[in-house]
């Protein structure tokens, strides 16, 4: 079992990322918090018989999810889904939509 969080943020050399704070430190802290949250998702009683891997990735979310599912052959992809309106979906697409269409295993989408 693998738990994955994907960050879709601009590269450090783009103007948006040049702010008066340390972008690398901000990213490291964000990654640390994401891994801690992923770890908290699995109760200790489960950890007694299962050792899930936690990982953080960077890039387009659906590509990273599908890549990890192929790299560590997945039997099932489970995704938390945010509600989005039709205009938002038309302009930006949907990570869940891309994963469902391209995955080689079943996908379970859970609305949060």
Q: What is the pLDDT of residues 25-67, one digit of tens each?
A: 888 899 999 999 999 988 988 888 888 888 999 999 999 999 9
The answer to whether residues 47 and 72 belong to one domain is no
The answer to whether residues 80 and 107 belong to one domain is yes
> How many Å apart are CA 109 and CA 83, to the nearest integer?
11
The answer to whether residues 8 and 49 belong to one domain is yes
Task: Say if CB 74 and CB 105 are below 8 A apart.
Answer: yes
The answer to whether residues 77 and 108 belong to one domain is yes
Cα dist from 29 to 26, 32, 47, 79, whole Å: 5, 5, 25, 23
Q: What is the pLDDT of residues 73-86, one digit of tens each?
A: 999 999 887 766 66
Residue 29 token pair: 């802290």
The answer to whether residues 25 and 38 belong to one domain is yes
CATH number, position 78: 3.40.50.620
Domain hosting 45: range is 1-59
């Amino acid at each position: 079992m693998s738990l994955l969080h994907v960050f879709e943020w601009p590269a450090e050399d783009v103007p948006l990322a040049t702010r008066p704070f340390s972008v690398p430190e901000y990213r490291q802290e964000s990654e640390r918090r994401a891994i801690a949250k992923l770890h908290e998702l699995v109760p200790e009683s489960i950890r007694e018989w299962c050792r899930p891997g936690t990982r953080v990735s960077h890039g387009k979310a659906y590509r990273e999810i599908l890549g990890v599912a192929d790299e560590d052959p997945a039997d099932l992809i489970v995704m938390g889904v945010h509600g989005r309106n039709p205009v938002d979906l038309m302009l930006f697409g949907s990570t869940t939509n891309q994963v469902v269409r391209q995955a080689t295993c079943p996908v379970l989408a859970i609305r949060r």
